Every structure is written in structure tokens, then in C-alpha cells.
Structure 1
């Protein structure tokens, strides 16, 4: 029974983590490659019209850069500098955006009434589910947990729980400092004129490009690219580590550099193929993130009960059980809301035709 429990535990934990890491890396390729295309067009509009690179080719440029950077990262502990650089870039472009929103003021004809965008009661409920899903996915903390485990591991003699707690609190504070001012200032300035699909990247390239200078827009593009490249290293490292562990356990020796390089190229090629085959994946971000949301909000509480074994029906037992069930229920609600929203709005499934 113990063997079955260990196998089941690995299946329930490793598969969602690998799936989430791969899906998130595909998102970074699509976002980073698309931003590279916009950045090139901004810098060289005249020459880009003569021999323009396609979106697929920009995806290839991004994944090539990401693979080259990954060759200098041996494990999660080695991506601490990458993580700091990516976080700095994210704080930078989020701060620049909301400052620009406030400085430029409201656009003409801005509308705040939700009835202008949602015409039925069911539509409003769907929008609420969608908003809750976006907030939950923004604070999911998968990358935070991975980095903390990689840089501050606990040992039987020395627990790093206090340092981990400080790291989580600091990370979530930074996320809140980035996203809440951006959301509030963005909605105040543009209201319902922001594009429904596509996120910040589409908003920057369409609605917002007319409200800021080219150097500032180029700086934002560059920060997004660097943020995507560095974040790619964090999520892909989970896949690298697991594949290298499988190789080492079967070959009975440490993974050589050539095999390590091959693993990185293989994973990069696989995610590149998926990004070209399914370029509409960002539209499914809430579904992809919601399926694995319980990894952050559900699993830890239930794992604490299984590991610490508090007295059944005690206060701590009930608290962790309730939080674990609540996190799992939140994951289900996010997926249901995302599917409902997708059914009502439709999906432009442009297979093998990235734009």
C-alpha cells in the first residue's frame, strides 16, 4: 500500500507540474516571440516591410535565445539571478504602464458601465468568474514555490520554513504592487475600450501605442522580452531536472553535459512545435492555469495533514482540510468559468498559423 501511495503521489504531483511547466513555456514563446516582432517593427519599420520575418520565425528566434541561455543554468539554484532580472523587468514595465495611464489621463468616450460590455445577468456572472480566475492565476505562485524549493531547501536538522514564508510574502507583495495599480489605472484610463482577448501585449500594440512615445514603447517591449526569456528558464528547469533524473537513475551515473544539452534542445524544439501548432493557447490561459491551480491552493494543505498527521477533527485538521477543499473548488470554478466564457465568446483556432 505504501508503494502504491508513493507512486500515486508522484503521478498526482509530477504530471500536473510537468504539464504546467510545458504549457507556461509555450505561452512565453508566443508572448516573447510576438513581442520581438513588434519590437523589430518599431525599430525598423521601413526595412521590415521589405523582408519581414514571419511570426513563426520570431518564435524560432525566441526559443533559440532561450535555449542558449538555459545552457548556462545547471539547476534551479543557478537561476536566482535570472529570476531577479525577470522580476525587475516585470516591475519595470508594469510601473511604466500605469504611470503612463495616469499621466495621459482618460481617453475620449471612456465607458465604465458593465452593461455596455455585458448585456445579460449570466454574462455578468461569467465575467465575475473570469475575473476571479485571472486574479487566482496571477497569484498562483508556482514559480515562487519552485524557486524557494530550489534555493532554500529544508533538511531534517534545519528547517527553512521561516525564510520560505518571508519569500512567499515578499513575492506576493511585489505581484500585488505590479498588477493592482496597473489594473486600476488601466481601467480608469481606458474602461471597456481595452481589448477583451490578447492581454497586455495586444493592448500595448493597438490601443496603447497611440498614447506613448516610441522610445518608451521600445523599452516596454524589451522588458517584456527579457522577462519572458528569464521566466522560461524557471519553468523549463523543472522539466530538465526530471528528465536528467530519469537518465541518471537508468544510466547509473551523472548526466553528462552533452546529454544535458540534448535535453534542453529537445524540450525547446517540442515547445516551439506546440507554439506554432497552437498559437491560440493564450486564449486558453485560464483553462490551462485553472486545471493545475490546486497545486498551489489545494495540495499543500492536504499534504500537511498527511505529513504532520494532526489529531483528526482538531482545529488544525479542520482548517487545513477546509483550505485544501476550498483551493480545489476554486480550481474547478476557474475552469468552469473559463470554459463557459470560451463557449460564449468563441475561439479563433488558427492551427499552424501564428499571427
Structure 2
């Protein structure tokens, strides 16, 4: 039997269902389209200060970190970023990884394991889902934002140890997890709370310090934060923040830290420069959130279903996968680049355009979005 025949047949089935994915290389200016799809929430990816930070780091350290963080891959820039990220988010200590995905894999898998219960929100990011699968712990999926279900799972568990794992801001719906209540439950039942700040850092809380900070959880010893540098910080990489015991455990036993090459100098330099910009520009997070609210109003004015944004992510629900594909095509025809999310990234019947609000969006771009979503509503609205 030809093993590639099965792959071709599976690809054909995905094509018929509107579920094919394709890589589409873009130009530096997003092919002339208004960028409403990227995670560049603060509009810093082309900021000269970040570019200079990246270039300066490359000139000093070269293009690669040259090894894992335990061998030659920890530079003074790594140590500085570890400390600054922790200080910015109010944590005791930090550890940078080469991606946010690996930060989640490392945190959840290392802090759980056999004899541990991991409770994960139903719509957590794929990196958390995969971390749970790799953890070798018993995993219980809680309905979205259902704190009563989390409480029952914690109360009734036979395991001594437990982790509650959640996105801070969920990556498609853009809503905020009930972090204060989850922390109360975790502490009451002797569990760690792991919060993925990927879509909250730089957008939520004072100076964009994140959802844990905004919820009064910064620095709590039983709270572990994971984050990415590739969104509001306009760089690449990830980090885990928490108590010294957490970071020491990751350094000693975290496989995604021990066996992975350290973050490259350019990403470190850009991320450090981004922190400088954010700390000196406290208006940026509020501007991103304001633009997100404006996008929701535009969508609703055309009769399109959306949700109240807690950060910079705005979904526009169109139903079936093909409707979302057509909606994204219409937006491109109108000069707009938007995200198109289909199963398995979202449940069946909840395919959507995922629109992201940059702090740097202007009135001309919002007017263009108004026209584009109007055309979508006329053509494919459910």
C-alpha cells in the first residue's frame, strides 16, 4: 500500500471541507493590505528602536546563541531579559525560552507529571493542549471559564498535586479568564495556577503588565506565568515567570529548556528594546483596547456577530468554514488582511474572521474595515 495515497486522500477531503491551509509569503508591507491579522498588538514590529536593539545585539553576539542555555546559549542579554520580564510582570524570577510554545510545554509538563491532576480550559491554546498530553498527568478538561467545574475537579481528585492551566486572554474569542476566582480555588485546594499571558502581555493591565497583574495576582508564589515575546513585544521567543523554586526546577529538569538552543541575540535585543518602549509609552495598551472596541462596533453595525473584547482580539463569527474563507477573500479584495479561523482551531459552526486591533490603527484604516465588513455582511453573513 502506498502511504502517500492516504495523505493525498486526506488532503482532498480537507479541500472539499474548506479546511486546507496554505503558506502565503507576504511582502514587507503586507502586500499593500491593511494589517488586521497579525499579533503585532502595539504596532512595534517596524519600530526603529526595536530594529536598532536587534542589530546592536547581533553585532555584539553574532547571529546565533550557539548552544543550549545550559552550555553556551545564555548570554548577558538572556540574563537581563529573564530579570526584566519578571520585574515587568511582578514575578520573582524568569526564564526565557526560544518560543512561547516551548515555554508552555516546559512549564506544564515539568510542573506536573504522574500523580498530578491538570485541569485545562476547553479552549486553551494548542500549546497548552499539547503540554497536557505530554505531561503524563491525568488531564481533566473544564468547560470554558467554568469555575464550578474547576472547583469540583480539585475537590474530588485523588491526586495529591494539581495544576490549573488557562489562557489569560483566549486567542480566538478574546475573552478574559476569571483569574482571581481560579486563583482562590487553586490556593484553597493546594494547586498551582498556570496562566498563559500570550495575548494579555502589553495589552491588559497598567503599562500592559498582563492579566495576572490586573487581577492582583502579580508575585503570588502559587502563580506561574507563561508568555510569548512574539506579540506585543514584536520579537520572538517565550518565557516562564514565577517563584524561584519554579525557575530552578525548569533549569534542572525542563526538557524544552535543557535540550533546545537558546533564544537568538536579535530576538533578545528586540524584546529588551520593546520593554523600554512600553515602559515609556503607557498609552499604548489603552489605545489597542480602544481600537478593539471600535472594531466590535463596526462589526455589529453590519449585523455581524462578535464579542466584547477584553484585549486586542476581535472575532467575527460567520459559521461554516467556507463562509469564513469567502469572508477573508472579500476583505482582501477590499484591501484588508484578516485572520481566518476554521476547525480544528475553532468548534464546528464557529468559523470566524479573527481581527486584531493594533495600537497604531488610524481612522482611515478603521474606515476601510467598515467598508470591508459591510461587503462581507452582504455576501456571506449567516
Q: Taking structure 1 as the reference length, what is the TM-score of the superposition? A: 0.31
Q: Which has the higher strand share?
A: 2
Q: Which has the higher helix share?
A: 1
Bigger RCO of structures 1 and 2 (CA < 8 A, at least 6 apart): 1
Q: Taking structure 2 as the reference length, what is the TM-score of the superposition? A: 0.29
